[in-house]
Structure formats: structure tokens, C-alpha cells
Amino acid sequence: MFVPLKLLRVLAFDTSIFLQRLPLHLGDLVFLRYLSITQWFQELDDVMSNNPNLQTLVVSGNGAPTIHLPSNIWTPPHLRHLKIGNLYMVYPPHEDKKNLQTLSWVVRPIHCRKEVYNKFPDIKELKIFLKDDIEPSHIGGCCRNPIILDHFDYLKGLEKLSISVSIRCSAALPEQCMYPSGLKKLKLSGTNISERDLNVIGMLPRLMVLKLENAFHGTVWNTVANGGFPLLIFLLLEAKELEQWVVSFHHFPMLRHLVLRSCNCLEQVPKRFSWLKSIELEGCRSSLVASAKQLQQMRRSMHFKDDLEIKIIGPKYDDSQNTHTQVSM
């Protein structure tokens, strides 16, 4: 049965060229609820201005230079999910968007403030890619001063937070940065956080997934706070300068999956991680691989029901009794 194009509710294209050739005025797609495209073009302005039913918009283009999207992208009154690739940027809305639950966008340093994020009072998932204030035509520019990211604890309903920083920017958290107590997933990429910041993160009562990609540049991480990371299940740690990682008995009680990436200076996996189910090592030194093997043998000697699975990515590890297996995360 043929459905008239103007009655479509879901429209997704890997390329936007075909969409531009449709024999239809795109402003007539007033029943559209879901729109996913890879490239923005001017005719889509009518969709945003005239569609009262749109709930999800995905513009997945990535690359450079940055292209500004029109402000009417915020117009649909029932917009719940907005995901924009790092090729595009849109200025914050003038009014509160109380229905918005998911937001993924590129922001300037001046927009990383409470006044902006307060416009999304019921946001549950926030992903920001921080770019510097250079003009699109300028190449090789950089942020003049380090960017201090604002607090996020005022986003009471936030469950997932991802912060990625452009390689040309330098960003850090406030001295006493706080997070929403209900946060379940946190990803920091390219930031500059301290050991104190890690201890604050460790006190989040519901955090289950933590990814630190080139975010911590210290040489020592000593988890000193009592009961740190009580529900954390998955940890990804990329820390090129980390030399020593001290974990007390009361930390990471639920941790099951550990990924260590480019930990060039770290020699040992904490011995208290014998309860892990999987360890993935990527671009790490051979002594770190050997310590993971020791944990595997320790677990076997303790007669655990499940074996510790180890995945090694990078230069081949010379071990005549290689027992590592593949892990799908």
C-alpha cells in the first residue's frame, strides 16, 4: 500500500542528496516525528518551522570547518531528542526546552555555563563537544586561556554525560566540581582533571560506566575516599603519564570490565582486581600485560566459576603459554 510522502512519520537517509530531489515541498511534512540526515540543506528550514510533531532530529555530519545551523532548529514544540555531529553548531535556544531529553551538540566555551544548560531542565542525556572560538576559515588556532567547565549538579535528572574537548582547547573542571547524584554514565575526553576530581567522581552513588580518554594527566592515582565507585561496572582509562594506581579494598566492589589504553608508564594492574571478568589492554607495556596474567592465574587458583578474559591489542606479547581470549564490549 502506497503512503503519500506528506504523511511520513519517520524519514532517515544516509545521504541527503536524494532528499533534496523529492518532488515535495518539505514544509508539507507536518506529520514527521523522526528525521535523520547526514547533511543539512536550506529546504530543511521549512521542516523545522512548520512541523509541530517532530520529536527526534539527527544531523550526523562530521568534519571541518564548522557550519552554523539556523536557530529555528529549536522551534518544534515537542522536540525530545536532538543529536548534531561535530560538523555543525547551533546557538542555544532563547526559551526553555522542557521536553528535551537528549542533546548532543558542539558548543563554544562561552556556552558552557549554567545559564545555558538551565534551558534544558529535564535533560537525561547530554553530550557536548567543545570547540574553540576560532573562525571557520582560520587554521591552526587555539584557545587562548584554559576553559573552566561549569558545574553540572543542577541538572537533577541527568543520567548520561559526555564531554569531549577539541585538541586545540585546554579545559578543566572547577576546583569543587559536582555532578548530578543520579548520573549513571560519564565520559570525559581531552579534559584536564585532577586526582581530587577522580575522588569526587568516585562518590557518585549510581555511576556504572566511566570512560576517561586522555582526561587524567597525573602520575599517581590513589583512591583514598571510603567506598569509592560503589556501583561502577565498566572503567576505561587512557592515561599516558600514570605510573602508580593504588586501590584500597573498599573501592570498585562491582567493577567487572577494565580497559587500559596507552598506559605507557603503568606497570601493574591493581592486585585487588581479582574479581574482574575481563581486562582489555591496548598499547600498554609488557609488564602491565604480565600483571594481568598474574591476576588471571590468581583467579584460577581461587577456583572462581568464571575465568578472567584478557584481550591484548597492540604489539604481540611474547608468552609461550598465551591464554588471552577475545572480549566483546
Instruction: Please give the Cα distance from 209 to 69 (Å, whole number).
Output: 32
Q: Are 55 and 77 in contact (CB under 8 A)?
A: no
Phi, psi of 26 (to 5 degrees): -60, -25
Cell 555531529 belongs to which residue? 85
Q: CA triplet 190, 193, 199: central angle to 5 degrees? A: 135
Please say whether the beta carbons of 83 and 65 come within 8 A: no
Q: Which residue has the higher pLDDT, 44 or 81?
A: 81
What is the dihedral sign for C-alpha 209, 78, 73, 93?
Answer: negative
45: pLDDT confidence band, cut at 50, 70 and 90? confident
User: Is pLDDT above 60 for 5?
Assistant: yes
- Burial degree of 282 (CB within 10 A; 0-12, 13-18, 19+): middle
Residue 97 has pLDDT above 70, yes or no: yes
| Residue predicted with more confidence, 131 or 116 | 116
Distance (Å, whole) CA 265 – CA 270: 14
- In the chain, % of residues over pLDDT 90: 44
pLDDT at 220 over 60: yes
pLDDT at 122 (0 to 100): 94
Tell me the pTM: 0.86
Residues in Cβ contact with 4 at an 8 Å cutoff, skipping those fewer than 6 apart = none
How high does pLDDT run on average in the chain?
Answer: 83
pLDDT tens readout for residues 226-265: 668 999 999 999 999 999 999 988 899 999 999 999 999 9
- Tell which wins on pLDDT, 237 or 136: 237
- pLDDT computed for residue 329 by the predictor: 31
Q: What's the confidence (pLDDT) of residue 98?
A: 94
pLDDT for the residue 326: 35
Of the listed ranges 11-25, 84-98, 237-251, 286-300, the one predicted with least confidence = 11-25
How high is the pLDDT of residue 317?
A: 42
* Residue 222 · residue 248 · CB < 8 Å: no
Does 157 have pLDDT greater than 60? yes
Query: How would you classify the pairing of strands 81-84 and 56-59?
Result: parallel
Residue type, 252: F
Contact 163, 183 (CB under 8 A): no
Q: Provide mean pLDDT across the span 157-186.
A: 82
Cβ–Cβ < 8 Å for 252, 228: yes
φ, ψ of residue 19 to 5 degrees: the values are -60, -35
Q: What is the pLDDT, as a whole number, of residue 56? A: 97
The residue assigned the cell 532530529 is 57
The pLDDT-based confidence of 136 (bands split at 50, 70, 90) is very low
Within 10 A of 39 (CB to CB), how many other CB atoms are there?
18
Q: Which three cell numbers stand for residue 168?
A: 586545540
Q: What is the pLDDT of residues 261-320, one digit of tens each?
A: 999 999 999 988 888 999 999 999 899 999 999 999 888 887 777 889 999 997 644 443
CA 148 to chain centre: 18
Query: What is the amino acid identity at position 288?
Result: L
Three-state DSSP at 196 gives: helix
- Among 166, 161, 195, 199, which residue's Cα sits nearest to residue 180? 161
Locate 131 and state its grid cell.
570547540
pLDDT reading at 58 higher than 80: yes
Q: Which long-range contacts (CB under 8 A, 24 or more apart) does 55-60 make?
A: 55/79, 55/80, 55/81, 56/80, 56/81, 56/82, 57/81, 57/82, 57/83, 58/12, 58/83, 59/83, 59/84, 59/85, 59/88, 60/36, 60/85
Distance CA 107, CA 89 (A): 7
The H or E element spanning position 26 is: none
Q: Rounded to whole angstroms, how far apart are CA atoms 194 and 200?
A: 10
Contacts of 302 (CB under 8 A, 6+ apart): 274
